[in-house]
């Protein structure tokens, strides 16, 4: 996927937000079928647990995954990627079930796309995805993490209203406005994960 070969071009690589790290951009279309192909998250959790370390598996959230993808070759550029959102939860449910069976007590979903300017239908789709996962996540401490910038007010409201999520992470180095939102109202009984280390600074 990253290099390509004589007959297949390499997939696009782009920066992960404004860092110098890159990711391979998923190429999707209306007929795509999502399957549970990689067991990396579960295998690495089991490996750590066998060494006596109980980790928190981290997955890219379904909303961010789709939002950062692009239409595949031959697919209309205007293809609504979020129309695929109902196809993804079944695969996430399989991964979650395996992590539970392996003994995981907590799981983290990274949804950094929430720091971008989103429309109401996008925020609704985000909330619907986690409503669909809610029953599968029962019994787990679920963390939803954002980073790299402030979270807009409407996204903050949508995120912190999720029943399935018990902890919320925010970048408070670059997120002074987010800190004001937290001070203005944070859901009772939930956990706050405060990002207070500058991840771009090479010095401790």
The tens digit of pLDDT for each residue in 30-56 reads 999 999 999 999 999 999 999 999 999
Tens digits of residue pLDDT in 101-146: 999 999 999 999 999 999 999 999 999 999 999 999 999 999 999 9
Tokens standing for residue 65: 């995954």
Mean per-residue pLDDT for 91-105? 97
> What average pLDDT does range 68-95 have in this prediction?
95
DSSP string, 112-170: GGGGS---HHHHHHHHHHHHHHHHHHTTSEEEEE--SSPPPHHHHHHHHT-SS--EEEE
Mean per-residue pLDDT of the chain? 94
> Mean of the pLDDT values across residues 10-16?
92
What average pLDDT does the segment 152-156 reach? 97
pLDDT at 125: 96
pLDDT of res. 202: 67
For the segment 95-100, the average pLDDT, to the nearest whole number, is 98
> What pLDDT shows up at residue 35?
96
Q: Angle 176-184/153-160 helices, nearest 10 degrees?
A: 50
Question: Vertex 96, ends 71 and 88: CA angle to 5°?
Answer: 20
Q: Is the overall model pTM greater than 0.95, yes or no?
A: no
Q: The domain 40-195 is classified under which CATH number: 3.40.1160.10, 3.30.43.10, 3.80.10.10, 3.20.20.210?
A: 3.20.20.210
Query: What average pLDDT does range 184-196 have in this prediction?
Result: 95
> pLDDT at position 39, please?
96
**Looking at residue 204, what is its pLDDT?**
61
CA 163 to chain centre: 16
């Amino acid at each position: 996927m990253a290099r390509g070969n004589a007959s297949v071009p390499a997939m696009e690589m782009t920066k992960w937000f404004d860092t110098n790290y890159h990711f391979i951009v998923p190429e999707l279309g209306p007929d795509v079928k999502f399957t549970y192909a990689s067991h990396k998250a579960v295998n690495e959790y089991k490996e750590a647990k066998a060494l006596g370390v109980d980790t928190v598996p981290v997955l890219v959230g379904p909303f961010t995954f789709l939002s950062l993808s692009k239409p595949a070759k031959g697919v209309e550029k205007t293809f609504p990627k979020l129309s695929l959102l109902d196809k993804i939860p079944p695969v996430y449910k399989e991964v979650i079930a395996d992590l539970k069976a392996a003994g995981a007590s907590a799981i983290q979903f990274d949804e950094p796309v929430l720091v971008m300017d989103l429309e109401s239908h996008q925020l609704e789709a985000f909330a619907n995805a986690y409503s669909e996962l809610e029953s599968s996540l029962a019994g787990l401490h679920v963390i939803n993490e954002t980073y790299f910038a402030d979270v807009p007010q409407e996204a903050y409201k949508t995120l912190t209203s999720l029943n399935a999520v018990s902890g919320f992470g925010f970048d408070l180095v670059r997120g002074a406005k987010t800190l004001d939102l937290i001070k203005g109202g944070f859901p009772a009984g939930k956990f706050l994960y405060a990002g207070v280390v500058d991840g771009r600074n090479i010095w401790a």
